[in-house]
Structures are given as C-alpha cells and as structure tokens.
Chains A and B, each alone.
Chain A
Amino acid sequence: MNLKDILELIDKVADRNIGLVEIEQAGVRVRIEGRSPQPAAAAPGAESRGASFEPAGAPLPPATPSPGRDAQPAAPPEDDTDPAWHIVTSPIVGTFYRASNPESEIFVNVGDRVTKGKVLCIIEAMKLMNEIESDIDGVIARIYPQNGQPIEYGERLFAVRI
C-alpha cells in the first residue's frame, strides 16, 4: 500500500461515515478513523478524521467513548474484552512468524475472513515450525505480535471477530 492508496482510503472512510478501518500489510498497521459525530458548529476536517501508522503488534490505544458518541448507537468496543472477539493464543513457547518463510505470502492480514482450520501463523520452537490454525470462523480483527517476535505460552496471537 502506497501513500496514494492510503489517502484514497482516508477519503472513502470520511465520505462513507465509516468509524474505523484497520489494515495491516508488510508488517505495518494503518488505522484510519472516520468522521466522528461532531457538534453542528464544529468545523469538519482534519480533526474529525485521521490516520495513524504503527508497527504491527504495537498495542493500540483503547477506544474511549467520546462525548459525541453518546448521541449515536454505541460503537462496538475495539478491545479484546468484546465478547464478539475470539482470542487465539499460542499453545507453545517459540518465535512468531506470519509466513512459512520470508519469501512466502503472509498467511493472514487484519480484515481477512478466516474459517476454522485456516493456518494463521507459524510458531517456531527448536527449528520445528508449528502451524497455528484458526479454531473459529470470523474476521481477523487484530494481530498482536510482530513478525519474528518471541512468544510465551498462552500469549495472545490474533483477535478474530466472530
């Protein structure tokens, strides 16, 4: 995704009143927040939308309800306490990889629809590549670790929105 794609996406998000879009590609997560309800007098524009870029796996700030949101139907909370988010955790200690090798295609990105049994990542332990499958159908909402990051037993790997 280049700068032009990102700018187009920002415009689409703004035009369609989409609250939030997160896209992850090549290890970089793009988070684009759409127009939040503003008081009628508030000037539209830069303050009402924005895009942030951060390395994949970096914790996102918790979604805090803004006063403006009270006037709208409640947006789903964007964190793993949401019952609609199923968390896939690591069954072993090892190293997290998003592709079977550096030349291969990444298994999944945020926003991808996955079915039960779909391989999500590899955890390497002692040169054994363990393919970790999704245990549920849904959409990848978040990828917690960065590629190549050491992982502990039970650590969060993915949030799947069901």
Chain B
Amino acid sequence: MRELDIDALAARLTVIESIALIPRVTSTHDLARTIVAECLENELPPPAAALVALEQSAGRGRGARSWSSPANGGIYSTTIHSLPATELSLYPLHMGNVVATFLRQEYGIEAGLKWPNDILVGGRKIAGVLLEARTQEGTSHLLISIGINVVALSDERAANATSIADEAGRREPLLGQAIAAFLEFLDQRLARAHVAASILPLWRDLAVHGDGDRVTSIIGDRAINGLWRGIDDNGHALIESNGEIVAVSAGDVIIQ
C-alpha cells in the first residue's frame, strides 16, 4: 500500500510500539489473542502492537456476529494495550468516544454512540468496537478491536451500514491515509491520562439515545422493555421499566 509508510507511522506513535500490516487474516482479534496468550504463557509482557489487516476472512463482532471485512474496504484493527486493571471498566465507553470523535474531527461525520459503543450515523453502523481483556496481578492486557467502514458500501450493505466515503461526501478517502490517521488518533488517546470523569460526559454528549426513548435490553434470553434514562457513573445503561430504574451492565440495548 503506497500511501501507507508503516515505519514512518510507527516512529510517530508513542504508546503503540509496533504495527503489523497484514494482507489477509481470519481475524486480527483472534490473532492478537493468540499473541497475548503465548506471551503470558512464557512470562513475557505482551507487545504494545497494532495489527491491521487489509482483509479478514472471519472478522469478529460480538458473540456470533461477524464483521464484514472485504479486501481494502475498511480499517480492521486490533491493538494490544496493557493498563492498570482499575482503569478497565470504562474502556468500552472510552473506545466508543475515541472512534466517534475521530470520525467527527477527521472527516466531519456526525457519528453517535449506541450503548455501549456501536458507532452510528443516521441509525446505520459505520464502526464497531470489540474489547477483550486478560487480567493478571493488577494489570489488564486489553485487545482493542475496531472496525471502521472506509470505502463506499454496496447497496445491499448500505441498508443498515454506512462508511466514511458514503458520509464524508468527499472524494473517496485513501485507505492507507485513513489507517494512518486512525492509528495516530488512537495512540494519542491511549497516551492521555485516563480520566474517568471526562469519559462519561463525552459519552453522554455523543449518545444517540434521548431521555425517554423506548428501548429493549436483551441479556441472554431475558428482555427488559422500557425507557432510556441515561447511564450511571459506572457506565451502565439505566432503563425505566414498570416504574423502576434498572441498571444494565451487559447484553444489548435495542432502540425501538
């Protein structure tokens, strides 16, 4: 990829120490998990590395969901980041904030957040976050998997998804430049001190949910229908159901 100079990019980063650009892989998330497991088994610190694929044959979403990852269609990345375990709990919201802010600042796209971290534009998904952590002796080794649709989508996919090219209304962005810009942005955010007090208000500003919106929370085979009442200080979704406020910390929230 001519427009992407990996060595020059890596030299500009401060937290991410190395970048692997992989032409095709099953899933950057699964690959990163294998790397972390191998390191821990051999009592080595996992690398502060970003794995970026140009195509994934089995891109991962939450649970059984896949992340469509056609060749040269988007940013498919997993970054390995080690941090104090005490900072972990708000990372799902924090990473949603990072991706939505990146799309706003870099491309002027009005990206919003569906709890906890689906990134939407006009109700259609433009990016997704999947996090996985392994914690040992107070340190969490976090896999930050982020997929962002970059090039224009086919009509079929455009029914419920969108992309930077579709939303930015500019000339087709160069994928290499988008990858570089995104990794620099992520690296800067990871380098900043973790300030829980700033994560929550930013997330609330970016949320697509309005107070009183009808939502359904699904955890396993249990569903709670109710009204959206924001998030609490733990980042949990607050849903009013049958006159009571329920704090939801897992599962999906569906907008009715």
Known contacts A93-B250, A127-B131, A129-B131, A102 near B92 by CB under 8 Å: no
**Interface stretch of the complex, out of A20-28, A40-48, A71-79, A118-126:** A118-126
Taking the complex as formed, is A89 at the interface, i.e. its CB lies under 8 A from any CB of chain B?
no
Taking the complex as formed, is B129 at the interface, i.e. its CB lies under 8 A from any CB of chain A?
yes
User: Contact check: which of B40, B60, B116, B222 meets A126 at CB < 8 Å?
Assistant: B116
Determine which residue in B64, B91, B135 has the highest number of CB atoms from chain A within 10 A of its CB, and name it: B135
Q: How large is the interface on A (under 10, 10 to 19, 20 to 34, 35 or more residues)?
A: 20 to 34
Contact A100–B136 (Cβ < 8 Å) = no
Q: Nearest residue in A to B221 (C-beta to C-beta)?
A: A148
Known contacts A100-B33, A101-B64, A103-B64, A125 near B250 by CB under 8 Å: yes
Cα of A119 to Cα of B250 in the assembled complex, Å: 20
Interface Cβ pair total, 8 Å cutoff: 73
Taking the complex as formed, is B104 at the interface, i.e. its CB lies under 8 A from any CB of chain A?
no
User: Contact check: which of A91, A95, A101, A128 meets B92 at CB < 8 Å?
Assistant: A128
Contact B133–A102 (Cβ < 8 Å) = no
The smallest beta-carbon distance between B168 and chain A, in angstroms, is 26
Contact A117–B63 (Cβ < 8 Å) = no
Cα of A55 to Cα of B134 in the assembled complex, Å: 28
Q: Nearest residue in B to A93 (C-beta to C-beta)?
A: B249
Contact A94–B250 (Cβ < 8 Å) = yes
User: Contact check: which of A101, A117, A128, A148 meets B91 at CB < 8 Å?
Assistant: A128
Q: Which residues of B contact A131 (CB under 8 A)?
A: 132-135
The smallest beta-carbon distance between A129 and chain B, in angstroms, is 4
User: Contact check: which of B133, B222, B251 meets A130 at CB < 8 Å?
Assistant: B133
Q: Which residues of B contact A150 (CB under 8 A)?
A: 219-220, 222, 250
Contact A95–B133 (Cβ < 8 Å) = no
User: Contact check: which of B64, B136, B222 meets A117 at CB < 8 Å?
Assistant: B136
Q: Which residues of A contact B81 (CB under 8 A)?
A: none
Question: Can you report 28 A-B residue pairs in the complex whose CB atoms are below 8 A from each other?
Answer: A93-B250, A94-B249, A95-B220, A100-B33, A101-B63, A102-B64, A117-B136, A119-B134, A124-B250, A125-B89, A126-B92, A126-B116, A126-B235, A126-B250, A127-B62, A127-B92, A127-B117, A127-B130, A128-B88, A128-B91, A128-B132, A128-B133, A129-B131, A130-B132, A130-B133, A130-B135, A133-B134, A148-B221
Given known contacts A94-B249, A117-B41, A119-B134, what 16 new A-B pairs fall within 8 Å (CB)? A92-B89, A101-B64, A102-B63, A126-B89, A126-B116, A126-B235, A126-B236, A126-B250, A127-B129, A127-B131, A130-B132, A130-B133, A131-B133, A131-B135, A133-B136, A150-B219
